[in-house]
Amino acid sequence: MKSIILIAGSRLLVALLTVFSVYMLLRGHNEPGGGFIGGLLAAVGFVIFAIACGTEDARKALRFRPASIAAVGLGMALFAGLMAAIWSDAFFTGQWLFINATPEDKGIPLSSVLIFDIGVYLVVLGSVLTIVFALEEEV
Amino acid sequence: MASTSSKTWVTPAGIIPVIIAGALFVLLLQALPAVANGDVLRYVWPWVPSLGVNISFVIDGLALMFGLLITGIGALVMLYSAKYLAGHPQQARFSLYLTSFMLAMLGVVLADNLLALFVFWELTTITSYLLIGFNHDSAKSRRSALQALLVTGTGGLALLAGIVLIGNVAGTFELSEIRAMPGVLTQSVFYLPILILVLLAAFTKSAQMPFHFWLPNAMAAPTPVSAYLHSATMVKAGIYLMARTHPSLAGTDVWLWTLTIAGAATMVFASVMALRQTDLKQALAYTTLMALGALTLLLANSSGYAITAAVVFLLMHSFYKAALFLVVGILDHQTGTRETTKLYGLGRAMPVTAFAAVLAGLSMAGLPPFLGFIAKELSYAGGVEAASSPWLVAGAFLIANALMFAIAAIVGYRPFFSKAGKKLENVTEAKWPMLAGPLVLAMLGAFFGIFPYWLQNSLIHPTVASILGSTVDAKDLHLWAGFNLPLVLSLATFALGFVLYAFSTPLRAMLIRIIDNGPNFDRGWDKLLAAVLAFAKWQTRVIQTGQLRFYIMATFITALVAMAGTMAIKQALVLPIVWTPVSLTDGMVFGLVITGTGLAIWTQSRITAIAGLGVVGIGIAMIFILYSAPDVAITQLLVETLIVVLFAVAALRLPSLGSEPLSKRWLDAAVAIGLGVTVTLIMLMVTAGPIDRSLSDFFEAASYPDAFGQNIVNVILVDFRALDTFGEVAVVLVAAIGVFALLRSKPEKDEA
């Protein structure tokens, strides 16, 4: 099913959905969103792309094998948990760093929790795409 | 085999284990003066404090004696195998297995915490499995390894159950604390289950009847392994367990008679079987069984003579049996055969081996002035005052010891000095790394026989104290204990043994005829295993139909029966339902869900059905939005979208749903409506009650101050319950890999 309209539209949608997914991922700590939702959004984008242009193009656009992305994500999540050990805290205790913090403002918050959420994002994205690509190529 | 001796044996894989074992031996030896003084050394590190699991080690007499045997014989055996396996392509693997086994076994005897003991116990089972199956290209080795694993593994599971019971009854898993509470186990209502479980573990590990059949088969392992694991150390783990739990479990009639009967039966059966064998290694395997039976029989009692005899017997058996196994290994290595009918007149060609064999054989035969004689005298003394039945115990010992005498001569004397058969030519003596082990062990048997006093005070009496609680009843070791009943029995043993040796060849022919026509445990094992496999196949055929529809049906019916049944039995069905007016938006969402459901049910097109299900999902997402759970709603929407896409891709290739017979759909409808109504009723009852908000309140209060996040759902996911989320994403990944593998592993064309 090759449709010019779908192909042209999907390019736009992939870009928008991917950017939006990162936005959802980053804002997740304070507003609706997070790694799970972000990962699903990004996956939806690539699924649409795969339906429009075929999985071969979608794989190229993704650059890495989806299973590898998922594995890296799981590794990041584990790493985020293990980081706590450096400060002799229990496994998965969140570690925070506030850049340019003032008493009123927290500045730019960086945390092991964010790394964990990025890991979740990658696992969800990679796993869903692993399944979808395999299914589409099979059928 | 003899030609391989040109290769060097000084390789890292050969030497490192010797160094480790030797260093541990020296380390343990330093505890000897303190233990000889009656001290008990204890080292504790908390492991899982919340469960009361500690890594705690205790060095008392019993632990030290076993520890010294394990490391000392370990060092000698490893030196021996460095040469025995020199140039073998998998020598490094062998060394790794053997060293791991040694450390695990050391853990078993030093552990004070029962759960730590269990872990080490299982590790010895696994390393033993790997070592028996070391020649893994032989089907016989693999079968023997699996058999040993299954039999001893069953015992291990029983041990775990027993340990949990002990922990519940005594309130602690520390052996030293349990020993300090006499009667806590024997007077408990759980005494019998505990005893059965612990003895099951001990009997399987130490190959007591009727679990004995795995041990002779385990001789498929390389000879150093047989000498070390299946003679001197691992099989004694069961004996160790019985000795260790003796203060807490012994002293009852059940203990006395179970151990007496199992021990005596094993002892007599094994010594008869030993005489039947022509393979020297098999003969030794059965004599090991005999020794294990004897030790069980002695541990049945609580008298000073019996326990002292058990300790001395254990020690001297490890010496002579490891030595003889190593001697047989040398014979095998240098001549290429282990058949007693072929090995004659090797004394001149292998003088050192012959010397070691004769010394070890004399100790095994129980002749003075060897340690074996002292052990035999003590066991007769223990036998004649046995609380069960002196006639039975002493009689069993007499038969078994006489047979041991004959077999000692067959292994230790005949291959070297008998002129009854053709002398083997062109045989050379083994190199010193292989001779050191048997020589040292055999000479220890002689040395301690002549000077028993030093051994008695440093090791024997502290060990007896570990079992009986004090050294009060420990008996002294004498070569000459006066003219008494044990001495008479000893003389009778020698006479009977000599007759048996003289007629061993015709006797063996007779035994082969009788035994090979009798019941065979090994074949029974095969039948049992085949029956288990057949049952598994039948059950798989019935339960695993391979139809998704069947699985879903089974799951739903089970859930329905469980929930509705519980409600009916507990009479929990109350309907305090308050009818509130339904808002317009709620009504519209409700209508949407119902429409989607109806569509999915009535359509004959798969795509339409999937779209219908998607409508249901979106309706549910809208409910989440209405009740202000945006995170859940977004996730639901996205998942719903993806599911529709996934299904649509797959459904393109599937045939149309078609029309099904009405009867099948009636069942579907009944299950679906039943489950739906039940779940709805439960939901209504749950929401009618007050909701426990303590968790929600905690997260609302703690989310921002503690975790710097205002979205509680996300904070819970990534911070408070991060470990759960980690587990979930790991499951997601595993599922993806599983789907991927399923899709990519296409069946063969002709099957498809």
Could you give the C-alpha distances from B270 to A116, B292, B339, B518, B744, in angstroms and in order? Answer: 62, 10, 19, 15, 55
Given an 8 Å threshold on Cβ–Cβ distance, is A34 in contact with B713?
yes
B183 Cβ contact partners less than 8 Å away, ≥ 6 residues apart: none
A29/B718 Cβ within 8 A:
yes
Contact B718 A128 (CB under 8 A): no
Q: Which of B15-24, B207-216, B407-416 has the highest mean pLDDT?
A: B15-24
Report angle CA A102, A106, A108 to the nearest 5 degrees. Answer: 110
Using a CB-CB cut-off of 8 Å, the residues of chain A touching B740 are 67, 130-131, 134
How far does the CA of residue B712 sit from the closest CA of chain A (Å)?
Answer: 8
| Mean local confidence (pLDDT), A21-42 | 89
Q: Give me the long-range contacts of A5-8 (CB less than 8 A, separation at least 24).
A: A6/A51, A6/A52, A7/A52, A7/A53
Q: What residue in B sits closest to A45 (Cα-Cα)?
A: B642
- Asked if A130 is an interface residue toward chain B (Cβ–Cβ < 8 A), one would say yes
Q: Is the peptide bond before B369 cis (omega within 30 degrees of 0)?
A: yes
- CA nearest B206: which of B171, B176, B175, B235? B235
pLDDT confidence of B694, banded at 50, 70, 90? Answer: confident
* β-bridge partners, B53: B48
- The arithmetic mean of pLDDT across residues A84-110, rounded, is 78
Interchain pair B649, A74: CB under 8 A: no
Partners of A130 on chain B (C-beta within 8 Å) are: 736-737, 739-740
Say what the pLDDT of residue B660 is.
Answer: 67
Peptide bond into B210 cis (omega under 30): yes
Segment B141-159 mean pLDDT = 91
Average pLDDT, integer, range B532-560: 88
Q: Among B120-124, B328-332, B530-534, B650-654, where is mean pLDDT lowest?
A: B650-654
Contacts B722 to A, Cβ<8 Å = 80-81, 92, 94, 113, 116
Measure CB to CB from residue A29 to each of B650, B709, B725 and give the nearest one.
Answer: B709
Would the CB atoms of A32 and B631 count as touching at under 8 Å? yes
Minimal Cβ distance to B736: which of A30, A51, A67: A67
- Our CA-based measurement puts residue A44 at a distance from the nearest CA of chain B, in whole angstroms, of 7
Query: How many angstroms separate the CA of residue B731 from the nearest CA in chain A?
Result: 10
DSSP state of B457: I
Q: Which tokens go with B213?
A: 């059949």
Q: How confident is the model at residue B661 (pLDDT cuts 50, 70, 90)?
A: low
- Per-residue H/E/C for B542-591: HHCCCCHHHHHHHHHHHHHHHHHHHHHHHCCCCCCCCCCCCCHHHHHHHH
Residue from A13, A27, A37, A97 to probe the interface with B (highest B Cβ count within 10 Å)? A37
Q: Mark which residues 632-651 of B lie under 8 Å from A by CB.
A: 634-635, 638-639, 641-642, 645-646, 649-650
Contact B316, B404 (CB under 8 A): no
Residue A103 has pLDDT above 50, yes or no: yes
d(CA B329, CA B331): 5
- What's the rounded Cα separation, in Å, for the pair A38 and B347? 82
The predicted model gives B526-552 an average pLDDT of: 88
Distance CA B631, CA B711 (A): 9
Residues of B in contact with A120 (CB under 8 A): 717-718, 725, 729
Contacts of B649 in chain A (CB under 8 A): 51, 132, 135-136, 139
pLDDT confidence tier of residue B32, bands split at 50, 70 and 90: confident
Taking CB atoms and an 8 Å cutoff, what residues of chain B touch A127? 732-733, 735-736
Q: Are B159 and B195 in contact (CB under 8 A)?
A: no
How many whole angstroms separate alpha carbon B519 and alpha carbon B430? Answer: 40
H helix runs in A28-62, sequence order? 35-53, 55-62
CA-to-CA separations, B58 to B39, B67, B455, B457, B675, in angstroms, rounded: 11, 11, 21, 19, 58
Task: Give me the residue from A40, A73, A135 closest to B638, CB to CB.
Answer: A40
* Cβ–Cβ gap B638/A44 under 8 Å: yes
Tens of pLDDT, residue by residue over B331-365, are: 888 888 888 777 777 878 888 888 888 888 888 88
The per-residue pLDDT for B412 is 84
Q: Which long-range contacts (CB under 8 A, 24 or more apart) does B562-566 make?
A: B563/B678, B563/B679, B563/B682, B564/B674, B564/B678
Contact criterion met (CB < 8 Å) for A113 and B717:
no
pLDDT at B4 exceeding the cut of 50: no
Q: Is the pTM of this model over 0.80?
A: no
Q: Do A117 and B718 touch (CB under 8 A)?
A: yes
Alpha helices in B413-451 (DSSP H): 414-417, 432-450
Q: Is there a contact between B729 and A116 if contact means CB atoms under 8 Å apart?
A: no
Which A residues, 96 through 125, put their C-beta within 8 Å of a C-beta on chain B?
96, 106, 109, 111, 113, 116-117, 119-120, 123-124
pLDDT of residue B750 exceeding 70? no
Q: Which of residues 38-97 of A touch B (CB under 8 A)?
A: 40-41, 43-44, 47, 51, 66-67, 70-71, 73-74, 77-78, 80-81, 91-92, 94, 96
Q: Looking at the complex, does the CB of residue B727 fall below 8 Å from at least one CB of chain A? A: no
For the stretch B575-600, pLDDT in tens is 766 677 778 888 899 999 999 999 88
**Chain A contact for B730 (CB, 8 A cutoff):** yes
Q: Is the CB of residue B625 less than 8 Å away from at least one CB of chain A? A: no
Reply yes or no on whether the pLDDT at B752 is more than 60.
Answer: no
